[in-house]
Amino acid sequence: MASEGKGLYPIGDVEKKTGLSARQIRYYESMGLISPARTSGGQRRYTDGDILRLIRIKQMKDSGFDLKSIKEKIQIFERNLQELSVDDISSERAVLSSLFPVSNRAVLMKLLEKK
């Protein structure tokens, strides 16, 4: 990739890593699903977390969910994630890096639970 190892990637790298078009990535940002950083020149810079988030969005999109549903799910997921105690999960990274793992099905259900 153009910026391997830095931890921040331009949109071209994100297209390759997520399989989403730059058009879609920018559109999702306008819809409030992601908030990438900007360089002084105005170019977007995505973190690994942003990319993981986009991959989850793509999976839900491919599963037939509309953007509205996806946005709600992610907001619920992340709001609940902040409220989870260390008793439920080993670490936040473990959850973020695992795209709906079967081994953590119970925790996943808890994260997606509507409050």
| Footprint of DNA (CB under 7 A) | 2, 10-13, 20-24, 26-27, 41-44, 61
Q: C-alpha angle 18/20/21, rounded to 5°?
A: 135
Least spacing, CB of residue 17 vs DNA, in Å: 11
Min. distance of Cβ 63 from DNA in angstroms?
13
Query: Could you tell me which of 37, 36, 51 has the C-alpha nearest to residue 99?
Result: 51
Report the DSSP beta bridge partners of residue 37.
Answer: 45
Shortest distance, position 79 Cβ to DNA, whole Å: 25
| Phi-psi category of residue 23: left, alpha or beta, with phi > 0 → left and psi -120 to 50 → alpha | alpha
Name which of 18 and 111 has its Cβ closer to DNA: 18
Cβ proximity to DNA, 20 vs 107, nearer residue = 20
